[in-house]
């Protein structure tokens, strides 16, 4: 096998899991720093590894995928945002995917304002999840 094939293979095998693990660790760190709450909607999130600590009543299981803790890139990777700690916050799956589903994602601050307004109107996640979780 030519050298560059081997190099590429090990790049694929070793580099990706490392960066994924690094991001996962960063996400868990941010989640704890944010008191377990979503950066945007402020609802309590869950993480497979942290589920038991943050939501003992669920015993590690959780009813809502929407509140799964995800790593949110404030400046999206598609626009040159990096994987550094200053560009990553912990946001729930729902807020994360909703923000990035837009053609031109709002800035984090714009999106947060939008989410908080919807939350006050009872038109964001709370209405659907509070009976399961809070």
The distance of closest approach from Cβ of residue 43 to Zn ion in the complex, given in angstroms and rounded to an integer, is 6
CB nearer to Zn ion: pick between 40 and 46: 40
The distance of closest approach from Cβ of residue 9 to Zn ion in the complex, given in angstroms and rounded to an integer, is 38
The distance of closest approach from Cβ of residue 57 to Zn ion in the complex, given in angstroms and rounded to an integer, is 20
Per CB under 5 A, residues contacting Zn ion are 38, 40-41, 92, 95
Instruction: For residue 18, count other CB atoms closer than 10 A to its CB.
Output: 10
33 by Cβ neighbours in 10 Å (0-12 / 13-18 / 19+) ranks as: exposed
The token duo for 4 is 């560059």
Inter-residue contact 88 to 33 (CB < 8 Å)? no
CB nearer to Zn ion: pick between 26 and 38: 38
């Amino acid at each position: 096998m030519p050298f560059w094939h081997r190099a590429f293979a090990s790049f694929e095998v070793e580099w990706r899991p490392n960066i994924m693990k690094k991001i996962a660790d960063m996400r868990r760190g941010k989640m704890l720093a944010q008191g377990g709450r979503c950066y945007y909607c402020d609802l309590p999130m869950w993480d497979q590894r942290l589920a038991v600590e943050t939501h003992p009543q669920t015993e590690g299981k959780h009813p809502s995928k929407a509140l799964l803790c995800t790593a949110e890139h404030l400046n999206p990777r598609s626009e040159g945002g990096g994987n550094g700690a200053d560009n990553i916050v912990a946001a729930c799956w729902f807020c994360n995917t909703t923000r990035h589903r837009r053609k031109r994602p709002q800035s984090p601050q714009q999106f947060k304002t939008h989410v908080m307004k919807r939350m006050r109107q009872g038109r964001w996640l709370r209405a659907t999840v509070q009976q399961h979780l809070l």
